[in-house]
Structure 1
Amino acid sequence: MSRKRPSLKWPLIIQPLLLQFAIVAASVAITVAVATRADSGGPYTDETITPVIADAIVRSADGSLAVRSTPQLAALRAETPAMWFMAEDDSGRRVSYGQVPAQYARVTGLLRNLAYGHVRDRLPPYALTAVIRREQSPVGPLTIMGHGKLNELTFTIMLASTLGALPILALMALVAVFAIPWIVKRSLAGVARIADEAKRIDAGRRGVRLSEEQVPREIAPLVRAVNDALGRLDEGYERQRRFIASAAHELRTPIAILRVKVDAAQEASTRRLGSDIERLANLAEQMLDLQRLDSTWTDKEFDLASLLRRVAGDLAPLLIAGNRSIEVIVDEAQPVRGDASAIERVATNLVQNAIDHGGRHVTIRVQGAAFEVEDDGPGIPPDERERVFEPFHRLRPRSTGSGLGLHLVQQVVERHGGRVSILGAAGGGTIARVEFPPMGPLPLNTP
């Protein structure tokens, strides 16, 4: 089982996010430690008692303040039996509850001038620890000083730090979910573009290089290495192409001399070498055809039906001499764009291939931007129909063919953006079907 390839995108997102969370956690811990160190005066009175106290204060008929019993107040008293408080309005009227320490009982008229504060004593049981808050009550604004449930300093600071850190954490989460992926995607856009360019590299195109513009600096060495490799491949292909072309050209002269000498020979055994020389000449021409694909390519619109009629006319004498026949059937005519001479060699190769494999009657059928060459020979086995396009592959080892004809056909058709396939005919023969990109119907008066 192959291992899953590591992703570059997710480490760029997850690792910065984890680092940010670690920094925030460390910052909160340092803040708590510093705050605890700076303020160790003892516990605080819970501030939540003052709204309950304010709700329990009413005004008597004479205008004085009084405390009424409420379930919430009773719950506070049950939780902290030593709870006490005193409240004062803006007129100086005052009410107290519980055992107010003597130090605070003497404070009169002072509370109404205060709004917020915490008072703590240093030693247990911390009876002087109190909170001062200004609250709205049923009788109007009151300033309340009270003692109730005690909270340790560390808990208060941690709660405040956590509440303060929550918006930061939420903002970091939003940044991680939306901003960081967008930044990473934008940063890797050059890599994605290079990948698209690499997908479009075709074996039939030379001189193609990956663009090094807008590529991240870390990826640029890889792109340059790929371009260098493509350059070396182009140089190797060019050397191979020149060798094939030179070899094919050099072979034509001695082949022609051999053909003349064999044709003029008196001995029958020597003249029988003519078929081998013809095969050698055909191989040299097909090698030149492969070389011409890159050097003499033209791109023009032509009439496919007329081209195929011309091929059939050129080959008809050869077929008739061998007691064979050929016909062209045009079901629909459409123009094709490309190299007409290359397509003519394709059709010639397909007809010759049909003859070489036992076809007595060859039918060329034009169907729009496609055509078929059908023969009535023994056919090609299904498991061989893809392999026949491989270079130098012959269906029968002792066949007289060179093994380059169908490979040349495939190269030319694919250069035109089309496809060639081998099918089985209804009568047991073979159909070679060639399809080109359609361009539209021809006028009705097209021959």
Structure 2
Amino acid sequence: MVRKLWPRSLKQRLIAQLLVLQLTILLVFGLSFVTLLVVADEGGVLIGPAPVETAFAAIERGPAGKLAFAKTDKLADLLAKHPKFWFIARSDRGEILQIGEVPEIYKGISQTLDRMTYSDIRDVGDPSPYLAVLRRRSSPAGDFTVFGQGELISERSLILTFSRVSLAPMLLLLALVTVIGVPWIVNRAIKGISQLAAETDGIDIARRSYRLTETAIPSEVRPLVQGIKGALHRLDVAYDRHQRFILDAAHELRTPVAILQARLDSLAAGPDRDRLIADCERISALAEQLLDLQRLEANAKPLTPVDLVELCRDVAADLAPLAIDQGYELSFEPEVERSPIQGDPASLSRAITNLIQNAIEHAGNQGSIVVRVACDRVIEISDDGPGIPEAERERVFEPFHRLKPRDRGAGLGLNLVLQIVQRHGAQIRILTSPSGGACFRLAFADQAA
């Protein structure tokens, strides 16, 4: 697997690239500045005051208050390296302390040190025997003007010194500012995109007219948002056209089916007539279920208080004759006296009816069908039939999906139940009943187990 050079996140990629760009620019600028500084100086080198600083650091006052040079290792190394080293220091009291012989050309300067504060002097000779520096310095021994032999600083040393003293802290400071500041700037810049991403949660089949806002997004992203809005509009138009077609087709289908049923009823009794009537009933059921789906989609009503116990009792009472006629024992077993929720009574009644009819159709025309209202707003409808295999328990809610081909039913009943349950914010699960049959469990108001 090949790893990408930059992270996939746009924000991280912007931060990384800006950081590298800024650090590169600062590094090039720093090196160019040092190079220019060095080249601009005559001879390409500068003077360093290190020998004078070493000599000054060795100045001390003795017990009697007299100035003297301490015998330090650094001073000894300096004198060993430069046998002709010279140095003179004048205190503000007029005291003079000297090492070596001051060159003839500087003797006049050495006598007027009290009037000077700073100077770098370099001659044109090679190896420049008259390099000199003049500085003002303070120490426990007092305040001094020091004048002495300097040394040449190479370009490499100058660049390294400048990099260590100035460039490195600047790079570190810029890195900190970039790491802290750039994410803040980028976050502010893409804040609108983050809000836009959160708005996409509002896109749903039940809210097809919902559209994304464009007020706080960058202009570069606006064409994409406009494209998405256009695509959503086209989908809405196509969906509405599709829904109208299904609704019109279902309505148109009812009339010829009713005529066909009337003509079939007038035929002489016999096996052919019974089969034709069963087929006609299946077509009629399909048309009615299609109409139910469209009514549920188009006529979403505000939720009102509904008592699940009363609702299930009424539906069970209405379907009891049909269940008994098909060889079942239908019982209603409430575990609570009342189970109130906010819902649509008509659609909930339709969902419970479909589940009981599904049990009547598939449970083998024997045993019992139990409608139970449990605590925590739970409804269970179980039977003693063959049950539903676990692998099929999700697919049975798909439109027109059937476990076995049958003469009756259209395969839309459970899909309608699922849509009704989802519109009420509930959950539906298929379990195994104690007798091994199917058990449909509806749980409302986030009380699902």
Q: TM-score, normalised by structure 1?
A: 0.91
Q: Distance in 2 between matches of 1:142 and 1:280?
A: 114
**Which residue is equivalent to 1:388?**
396
Distance 1:374 1:138, change over 3 A: closer
User: How big is each residue's C-alpha offset from its partner over 1:126-180, in whole Å with a ceiling of 9 and x where there is no partner?
Assistant: 2210111222244321211121543235633663365333343233112211110
- Correspondences of 1:12-51 after superposition (within 5 Å): 12-41=14-43, 43-51=45-53
Supply the RMSD in Å over aligned alpha carbons: 2.4
Contact 2:52/2:150 (<8 A) preserved = no
Change (3 A) 1:240 1:74: same
Residue from 378, 382, 394 that aligns with 1:374: 382
| Residue range with higher mean Cα deviation, 279-288 or 257-266 | 257-266
> How big is each residue's C-alpha offset from its partner over 1:388-431, in whole Å with a ceiling of 9 and x where there is no partner?
11110111023522111111111111111112121111211110
User: 1:362 maps to which residue?
Assistant: 369
The one-letter code of the counterpart of 1:293 is L
Aligned to 1:185: 187
- Tell me the equivalent position of 1:346: 351
Bigger Cα displacement from structure 2, 344-353 vs 42-51 = 42-51
8 Å CA contact 2:354, 2:413 repeated in 1: yes
Instruction: Find the counterpart in structure 2 of residue 443 from structure 1.
Output: none
CA–CA distance in 2 between the matches of 1:254 and 1:226? 43
**Which residue of the partner structure matches residue 265 of structure 2?**
263
Where do residues 284-303 of structure 1 align in structure 2 (5 Å cutoff)?
284-298=287-301, 299-303=303-307
Q: Structure 1 residues 81, 45: CA separation in 2 closer, same or farther (over 3 Å shift)? A: farther
Tell whether the 8 Å contact from 1:85 to 1:145 is kept in structure 2 after alignment: yes
Determine the structure 2 residue equivalent to 1:279.
282
Does the C-alpha gap of structure 1 residues 380 and 61 become closer, same or farther in structure 2, counting only changes over 3 Å? closer
1:360-383 superposed Cα distances (whole Å, 9 cap, x missing partner):
311011123220110011111111
Equivalent pair of 1:131/1:146 in contact (CA under 8 Å): yes
Counterpart residue number, 1:81: 83
3-state SS, counterpart of residue 128 of structure 1: coil
Letter paired with 2:373: V
Tell me whether 50-59 or 418-427 shows the greater mean CA deviation: 50-59
Aligned partner of 2:213 in structure 1 is 211
Shift of 1:41: 4.5
Corresponding residue to 1:322 among 312, 326, 337: 326
Q: Secondary structure at the match of 2:209?
A: coil
Alpha-carbon shift at residue 6 of structure 1 (Å): 3.3
Look up the equivalent residue of 1:277 and give its one-letter code: C
Q: Quote the Cα distance in structure 2 between the aligned partners of 1:256 and 1:44.
A: 110
**2:201 maps to what in 1?**
199
Alpha carbons 2:203, 2:210 under 8 Å: kept: yes
Query: Identity of counterpart residues, as a percentage?
Result: 43
- Structure 2 residue runs without a partner (length 5+): none
Q: In the aligned structure 2, how far is the partner of 1:132 from the partner of 1:164? A: 24
Query: d(CA) in 1 for partners of 2:2 and 2:351?
Result: 43
Residue 22 of structure 2: SS of its match in structure 1? helix
> Is 1:41–1:121's contact at 8 Å kept on the other side of the alignment?
no
Structure 2 counterpart of 1:220, one-letter code: R
Q: Out of 102-111 and 10-19, give the one that drifted further.
A: 102-111
* C-alpha contact (below 8 Å) 2:199/2:212 kept by paired residues: yes
54-63 vs 161-170, greater mean Cα deviation:
54-63
Q: Any conservation in 1 of the 2:38–2:45 contact (CA below 8 Å)?
A: no
8 Å contact kept, 1:58–1:139: yes
TM-score with structure 2 setting the length: 0.91
Unaligned runs of 5+ in 1: 440-447
Distance of 2:285 and 2:112 partners within structure 1: 119
What do residues 167-219 of structure 1 show as CA deviations (whole Å, max 9, x unaligned)?
43233112211110111111111111111122332233321211112111011
Give the letter for the 1:171 counterpart: L
Aligned equivalent of 1:402: 410
Matching of residues 307-318 of structure 1 within 5 Å: 307-318=311-322
How far apart are residue 276 of structure 1 and its match? 1.6
Give me the whole-angstrom Cα distance separating, in 2, the residues matched to 1:184 and 1:219: 15
The structural deviation recorded for 1:31 is 1.7
Instruction: Identify if the C-alpha distance between structure 1 residues 139 and 185 changes in structure 2 by more than 3 Å, giving closer, same or farther.
Output: closer
Question: CA distance change for structure 1 residues 397 and 3 in 2, over 3 Å: closer, same or farther?
Answer: farther
Q: Distance in 2 between matches of 1:63 and 1:170?
A: 47
Q: How far off its partner does 1:63 sit?
A: 7.3
Distance 2:155 2:415 in 1: 87
- Residue equivalent to 1:442: none
- Asked if structure 2 preserves the Cα contact closer than 8 Å seen for 1:130 and 1:145, the reply is yes
Q: How far 1:125 moved relative to its partner? A: 2.1
List per-residue Cα deviations over 1:35-69 (Å, max 9, x = no partner).
22321256444323334323433457997644342
2:421 equivalent to 1:413: yes
2:335 is paired with a residue whose SS is strand
Query: How far did 1:16 drift?
Result: 1.9
Indicate conservation of the 8 Å contact 1:76/1:148, yes or no: no
Q: What CA distance in whole angstroms lies between the structure 2 residues aligned with 1:140 and 1:122?
A: 35
Q: 1:104 aligns with which of 98, 106, 109?
A: 106
Determine the C-alpha separation between the residues in 2 that align with 1:430 and 1:258. Answer: 35
